[in-house]
Amino acid sequence: MNENEDLELAALERKLDDAFQTTRPRADFEDELWLRMQAKRPLWQRLQDLVGGLVDRARESPGIPATAVATILIVAVVSSIYLTGNWPAGGGGTTSATLGGARNSEDGSTQYAGGSFGRLPAPGLQPVAAPTFNGGGPKVTGPEDLSGATVYYGPANLTFSGKLDSSPASLQVYRYAEPQASDAAGFGQMVGAGPAGSVMAPYIYSSSSHDFTLVVRGTTRSPNSEPAYLLTVSASAQSSSNDPVQVAKNFLQAHNLTPAWPYVVATEQTGAVTHVLFLRQFDIPGQGNVDAVDGTGAQYGLQIEVQSSRVLSVAGPLPLQLDSALYPLISADQAVRIVLASNPAGAQGTANVPAVTLTSARLVYALAFDGSHGYYEPAFLFSGTFSMNGQTYVKRVLVPALPGSQLSS
């Protein structure tokens, strides 16, 4: 091959590099493909082997010009992508993403590349005196709670006597973008609010009409709580039903506020006011409905205050569009080990550190926030009760279900 052909081949190889860049599959394609390659040799790999042989023969044959070699390679690249269906990701309207592929490491354990959202902030519990208006009043906070019990967030010497069912190998993480004032205004229009008014932090939208006032706030971080709205009714016709739950359902339907997510209904009574609670859940294939918990570890959702067959207020999560991505989970045994390892160092037998037996453990979804996006992530919620100085307390421990390699904090 003479010098001119060398230069010509170098130029064509640069074009080939450009072709690779413009036909490159999505970032996690190689990891996902690796696992499939262990089970069988896919068509694209056979094409790759074939092309490799052709190129070797072509370069060994002086009768084949350098341009033909590069043409073979470019056609092979495009053909392999076409036949496997792995074109570069576009800007379509899909709201789901997939898990990065699994691969076996040298020690035989399974390693995961992780979901397409990258590493995520870890959910956790935040001590608070009282919840914000995402619910606004008494709450059903979980099956372990006792009447008059106080949630304890301090250190404790922990043991576990409960049972945690085996967790799935992976679950979806759901993500939303922090809403802007225009998003909140669109929600106000949907429910029939009046023109937008002036707002003060932490609200991003407010509106008043003859029938009700509406305020919307963004994500809060103490405790973690997604964007929420509070609708205070100023004029409401008395319902024909005496059932507070039915009164609440009728009002939600009339104002386009019926939750799109799964829920369970509960009620609590405060004097003459009935709090009707639509407690949020996530529908998990193979697991049924899994409870959502806020930054206190409490179940939460939509709360409607009803008095004398009239609705007084509605408070709950702002409807948001969610994207999803599949992430690997730690095992139930790993979660238990993490909980027991959280015992405070050197505190055994210390008088002001209680000994607590955790008797309940379950899979939940908890919120984490990174400043621009909120994430509903699977987690394990452990809890147990203990008494001190005549007072009953509930101790909760929240363990992220994602492995540490998938978490940024």
Which pLDDT belongs to residue 204?
A: 93
Which pLDDT belongs to residue 312?
A: 94
Q: Which of 115, 103, 175 is nearest to 403 (CA)?
A: 115
Task: Answer yes or no: are the C-beta atoms of 245 and 269 closer than 8 Å.
Answer: no
Indicate the SS3 state at residue 53.
Answer: helix
| The token pair that represents 113 in the structure block | 């590349």
Domain ranges of the chain: 3-84, 178-317
Q: Residue holding tokens 């092309």?
A: 51
Pairing type for strands 310-317 and 355-358 reads unpaired
Which pLDDT belongs to residue 8?
A: 55
b/e map of 265-279 (b: 16 or more CB within 10 Å)? ebeeeeeebbbbbbb
| The token pair that represents 378 in the structure block | 């699977």
Q: Residue holding tokens 């995961």?
A: 112
Cα 240 to Cα 245: distance, rounded to the nearest angstrom: 12
Considering the entire predicted model, what is its pTM? 0.70
Which pLDDT belongs to residue 225?
A: 87
Which pLDDT belongs to residue 284?
A: 87
Which pLDDT belongs to residue 111?
A: 42
For residue 378, the one-letter residue type is P
Which pLDDT belongs to residue 124?
A: 92
| The token pair that represents 255 in the structure block | 């104002």
Which pLDDT belongs to residue 76?
A: 42
**Mean pLDDT in order along the chain per 10 residues (409 residues):** 53 45 40 38 42 46 47 40 34 39 38 74 79 39 53 90 89 96 92 84 87 92 87 80 93 93 94 95 89 91 93 95 95 95 65 88 95 96 90 92 92
Q: Residue holding tokens 């304890």?
A: 152
